[in-house]
Structure 1
Amino acid sequence: MTTPDVLRPVLGAIAVVWHQDQVLLIQRKTQPNAGWWGFPGGHVELGETAMQAAVRELFEETGVRAQPLEYLTNIDVFLRSETGDGTGAVHKQYLLTAVLCRYESGTATPADDALQARWLPVAGLEDHGLELIDQVAEVARLAHIVQERHT
């Protein structure tokens, strides 16, 4: 018996890497959000935890190695069909798990799904003229607060 295809949310993980009062952001190369800035991350693969996925994706996209410390928050992302007023039908949904990570080694070099990679101070993150993906600044500020427990 064959079951019909069912659209389901996709689980992803993002690495919020904290180092010297800065976080690492990438400019996305591919959709969704091509050209926009956000945290390195991607799909959680079958058999891996979100923490493992976050550090794997971080290394694949930037060459940076980090230690996952703890889960920060979850972010719901809904991609909707274009209607002009934001009320279109949901055609893709992501649940992103934000993982606080401590930098270990590597030079941030864009690779895989990244056009650019930059370390940026959390203070005034919105003032650098970058198109930030929704909730990036809020998650960076949360990381700033939570990382104090790990220093």
Structure 2
Amino acid sequence: MTRKPVLGAIAVVLQGEHVLLARRRNPPDAGLWGFPGGHVEWGETALQAAVRELQEETGIIAEPQGYLTNVDVLRSGPDGQVDVHYLLTAVLCSYVEGQAQAADDVAEVRWATFGEVEGAALPMSARVADILALARRVSAPIS
């Protein structure tokens, strides 16, 4: 059987000097902090999936602003063969409303400071700090 990567979308929501992070309950990143998100459903764009997953996992309602980047997540088993392959599309979202609370497959949710992410104060999934840096550059006002 041919194996194919799984498409996922992650929501990057900035508010002031904070970013919304979720601590995963399930593998492959159980216990790690990262952006809320999940699988893209058939007939759904990654933009739509990001805001849907965001609301399902955190209760936060946001509007998608655009694509930031794509991230390949590859994990190998004991035999050295890739057994997990996700292609995650990072979507910049603007906060609309809601109180952050963990739901679905998220153990915790919080508004982390940029400094916490940049300083790796939390155990995080790969590329979280890189994606945050990109989101900050993209959303910075032009002077």
Assess, with a 3 A threshold, how the Cα gap between structure 1 residues 47 and 106 changes in structure 2: closer, same or farther: same
Partners of 2:65 and 2:72 in 1: CA distance: 21
- The one of 7, 16, 24 equivalent to 1:28 is 24
Q: CA RMSD in A?
A: 1.5
Are 2:116 and 2:122, in contact at CA under 8 Å, matched by a contact in 1?
no
Percentage of matched positions with identical amino acids: 51
Are 2:24 and 2:34, in contact at CA under 8 Å, matched by a contact in 1?
yes
Partners of 2:118 and 2:81 in 1: CA distance: 30
Task: Please list every run of 5 or more consecutive structure 1 residues that lacks an aligned counterpart in the other structure.
Answer: none
Partners of 1:52 and 1:12 in 2: CA distance: 11
**What amino acid is the match of 2:99?**
T
What is the DSSP-based 3-state SS (H/G/I as helix, E as strand, rest coil) of the residue aligned with 2:4?
Answer: coil
Assess, with a 3 A threshold, how the Cα gap between structure 1 residues 124 and 8 changes in structure 2: closer, same or farther: same
Deviation string 1:38-72 (CA, Å, 9 cap, x unpaired) is 00000000000000000000000000000100100
- The one of 45, 49, 54 equivalent to 1:49 is 45
Question: By how many angstroms is 1:6 displaced?
Answer: 1.2
**What amino acid is the match of 1:108?**
A
1:80 match: 76
What is the DSSP-based 3-state SS (H/G/I as helix, E as strand, rest coil) of the residue aligned with 1:112?
Answer: coil
Deviation string 1:45-102 (CA, Å, 9 cap, x unpaired) is 000000000000000000000010010000001011126xxxx111121100000000
Are 1:126 and 1:132, in contact at CA under 8 Å, matched by a contact in 2?
no
* Higher CA-based Rg: 1
- With structure 1 as the length reference, what TM-score do the two structures score? 0.89
Task: Please list every run of 5 or more consecutive structure 2 residues that lacks an aligned counterpart in the other structure.
Answer: none
